[in-house]
Amino acid sequence: MNAFLLRSLAAVIAPMLLQACLWAPLLHRAPISDEIVHAETEDGWRIAMHHYRPAPGTSAHGTPVVVSHGISANERTWSLDEEKSFPRYLAERGWDVWAIDLRGVGHSDTPSLFNDKSWNYDFDDYVTRDVPAVIDEVLRRTGAPRVHWVGHSMGGMIMYGYVSRYGDAKLKTVTTVGSPVRFTGYAGYLAWAQEMAPAFRDYLFTVPERAFIPGIAVFGGAFRTRAEYLVWNYDNLSPESARLIMYNGTANMAGGVLRSLAGPFTGAPFASRDGAIDYLAGLSRLTVPLHVVGGIADNLGTIAAITPAFDAAASTDKRLRIFARANGDSHDYGHVDLTVGDNAPREVYPELETWLRSHE
């Protein structure tokens, strides 16, 4: 990279990092979990597990719940503060909850100048290393035979991949929230991006979101851009929550992960790195109860994108739930407001918890 480019990058990123520091007293929120422990993957990454113990006085459920975030996010996607925290909501109702940071984000190992980790990992590393390590570690610590899995966005996709490879013997149920598997029905610049992506697929590099999103977080909600509406619906997410998400809940996107997701995004099968395992067809191995959740205003996990998994799963006990005003909800839900929207604690969390309880 030439010096001019480096200087240009520094000129853009440095002020943003400075801003991020300035806003820290205003926007930084420490994790609210009871403890943070780690699982170690077979390739030596330490995966953070935010543990929410069952609240004292509640009747404990036997099966632990693993909660996973999606791409460009971390554990805070599910746990913005004490009120908007699905793990805390579950813990207060007797569940033993483990909310994870996938490799490279949050409190998990992150590539830096001071370790040997790199940003070259991809989607299959999540599927074949992070997920098995987390499930085994939770089972070891709790002594339970199986876990409930709840994944948002890519956090559900990696579970589809895991089941396709390893089956569902260690799973009690699977819940996916806004998790796309077939990227169809897009319009406007999303369709344009789909057309352009193949040309750039091999050149996708790590997007250092942590270097600039926190710096502009203070403007969250001020302009309500179409890019923001892509990920959440401001009718259902206060500007304050948007700022907190931008500051605390964003994460760098690894180039390898972007490249591996560019395939399905542009119409290629949702499959393993070498193409040998089709992660959609592999859902014929998913026989445990499946709960597929979406929002009608979700522009990333659109209903067209999430329902093929619902159809492909072999589960005989499966439920599709679309959060929409027409279905009696207060708002039309977008991608992120399904997890930390203003009304999620009142509308989404109870339904997810009720469904888990009915399958305990």
Partner 1 sequence: MRRSLLLLCLLLLAASCASARRSGPVNRADVQRGENRGPSLHHYPGEGERVLIVGSPGISWRIFDVPGFGGLAPWLQNRGFDVWVLDWRDLPLTADLDAATDWVAAVMDQLGSERELMVVAHGLGGVNVIRAGRRDEVVRYVFLAVPGDLQYPLDPVMDFARQDWNAPHRLSEARNYKARPAAERRLLDALLFSYGTDPVSPAWLERQLTPVGPALLNDLAEALRRARWDERFEQGLASLTAPVTVLVGQTDAVAPPWQTYETYRKAGSQTRFYRFFSRALGDDREYGHVSLVVGKDAVRDVFPFVEEGLELEE
For the bound state, the minimum distance from the C-beta of residue 116 to partner 1, rounded and expressed in Å, comes to: 40
Strand partners, 174: 149, 290
179 close to 152: Cβ distance less than 8 angstroms: yes
For the bound state, the minimum distance from the C-beta of residue 304 to partner 1, rounded and expressed in Å, comes to: 4
In angstroms, rounded to a whole number, what is the distance separating the alpha carbons of residues 32 and 12?
Answer: 32
Residues of the shown chain interacting with partner 1 in the complex, contacts defined by CB under 8 A: 184-185, 187-191, 224, 226, 229-230, 296-297, 299, 302-304, 307, 320, 322, 324-328, 332
Complex with partner 1: residue 146 or 182, whichever CB lies closer = 182
Complex with partner 1: residue 65 or 303, whichever CB lies closer = 303
Structure tokens at 43: 């390739």
Complex with partner 1: residue 219 or 229, whichever CB lies closer = 229
242 close to 335: Cβ distance less than 8 angstroms: no
- Among 70, 43, 121, CA closest to 251: 70
242 close to 234: Cβ distance less than 8 angstroms: yes
How many alpha carbons fall within 13 Å on the CB side of residue 90?
A: 31
The greatest distance separating any two alpha carbons of the chain, rounded to the nearest whole angstrom, comes to: 62
For the bound state, the minimum distance from the C-beta of residue 321 to partner 1, rounded and expressed in Å, comes to: 10
For the bound state, the minimum distance from the C-beta of residue 225 to partner 1, rounded and expressed in Å, comes to: 9
For the bound state, the minimum distance from the C-beta of residue 226 to partner 1, rounded and expressed in Å, comes to: 5
In angstroms, rounded to a whole number, what is the distance separating the alpha carbons of residues 233 and 296?
Answer: 10
Complex with partner 1: residue 60 or 191, whichever CB lies closer = 191
Complex with partner 1: residue 61 or 321, whichever CB lies closer = 321
